[in-house]
Amino acid sequence: MTVAVFTFVLLLANVLKEVVTLLMSGQVPFTTLVFAIALLIPFVMVYALPMGMLTGTLLVFGRFSADNELTAVRASGISLISVVSPVLLLSVLLSGVCALVNMQIAPQCRVAYKRLIWNTGVSRMGAFLPEKVYIKDFPGKIVYVGSVRGNHLREILIYKLDAANDRIEGYIRASEGNLRSEKNVLHLQLFDGWYVDLQEGTRVQLPIYASESLLSYTNAPASDTDRKVRLSDMTFPELRRELRGIEHKLAASVSLGKVSSETLREKLREYQQEAEDLTSPIKVQIHRQVAFSFACIAFTLVGIPLGIRAHRRETTFGIAVALVLVVLYYSFFILGQSIETRAEFFPHLILWLPNFIFQSIGAVLLWRANRGA
């Protein structure tokens, strides 16, 4: 029941944002709304399953403790671990389901959903320069934008390729930028832009007057098949292929030749640093999909002992505690994805912190509850 409630709430938030507005204006038929909801179900189930598991364990074991059933179980010689083992096994099973959905089914459904919205006429500036996508349509460049809000862009990376498009010669990083369109030409004005030359090993700040002239290009997307898939909407195998492709181009840019061992070590260190920097957004999405799949286990380990300690029958109390824990858990994912282009902060490892913290605390609390502490 709790999974169904959270699924409904999350579906409502997504549908109201995009589809219902079109439905009320008469731009799409009712059948399109139903199909869109069906495509969104796998996407929201990844969030609803862990939240439902947490709420369920808090409610069940809170009442279990409040009704003194736990005392009766212990008096009969049955340990708490024996009682909760089926619940823990269920959480492992649900984590496997979340992994399948999160790494394969949900991204495919999300892409199909966005194509449906596109075909109904929902378009924006992001159609020309979508966010969180490695765009390879522009000669001599690979463009990545972390966030698109109308004409305002954030976290911009532009990789400069050689004439054969086989090697990355350098890249531009800018914290912000503005996008404007003139006929079929898009002009990207960068702010706080820096250019890193991988061949020379130099890093220089771009002057304002040069930022736009370097990054003007022709772009005319014709249909939804021309639109690129965001990294967050890629399946796990697609992300792996994307990572290997970037690493291959970067590796080809490293020319060792006949150099001394010290120079060789220095070049390898530079290559490793640049590889971490340029592939960080992909690694964040790969680790997000995997780490996200363990949420059911983490929430169950925390929910069981907290429910026992709370010793409450009220449903509202369990839901309130669940919401607080969910916010704490997902805040790490928000933090990691917000700094996905800053490899020096290891954003892909930040995504594993909530699992480590919740499972460690939950295991300790469960061990103490089993001892009757």
Structural domain count of the chain: 2
pLDDT in tens, 73-97: 777 878 888 888 899 999 999 999 9
Same domain? 170 vs 215: yes
Last residue of a domain, one of 254, 284, 314: 284
CA distance 53 to 29: 35
pLDDT of residue 147: 84
Closest CA to 105 of 38, 169, 166, 27: 38
**For the ranges 18-27, 292-301, 350-359, which has the lowest average pLDDT?**
18-27
Q: Give pLDDT, residue 352.
A: 94
Between 138 and 15, the higher pLDDT residue: 138
Whole-number pLDDT of residue 196: 87
Residue 146: its pLDDT value, please? Answer: 86
Q: Which of 251, 284, 317 is the last residue of a domain?
A: 284
In this structure, are 131 and 261 located in the same domain?
yes
Q: Are residues 207 and 261 in the same domain?
A: yes
pLDDT, tens digit (0-9, with 9 covering 90-100), for 234-276: 899 998 888 888 777 766 665 544 445 555 456 556 555 666 6
What are the tens digits of pLDDT across the range 316-327? Answer: 777 788 888 889
Contact 174, 208 (CB under 8 A): no
Burial class (CB in 10 A: 0-12, 13-18, 19+), 203: exposed
Q: Tell me which of 298 and 136 has the higher pLDDT.
A: 298
User: What pTM was computed for the model?
Assistant: 0.67
Spatial distance between the Cα atoms of 83 and 55, rounded to a whole number of angstroms: 18
Q: Do 280 and 290 reside in the same domain of the chain?
A: no
Band (353; pLDDT cuts 50, 70, 90): very high
Q: Domain containing 237: what range?
A: 126-284
Q: Choose between 106 and 123: higher pLDDT.
A: 106
Supply the mean pLDDT for the chain: 77
At 297 the pLDDT is 93
Residue 14: pLDDT band (50, 70, 90) is low
244 and 366 assigned to the same domain: no
pLDDT at 93: 94
For residue range 110-122, what is the model confidence (pLDDT) as tens digits? 888 878 776 665 4
**What is the secondary structure of 60-116 as a DSSP string?**
HHHHHHHTTHHHHHHHTT--HHHHHHHHHHHHHHHHHHHHHIIIIIHHHHHHHHHHH
Q: Are residues 279 and 141 in the same domain?
A: yes
Q: How confident is the model at residue 218 (pLDDT cuts 50, 70, 90)?
A: very low
Same domain, yes or no: 266 and 156: yes
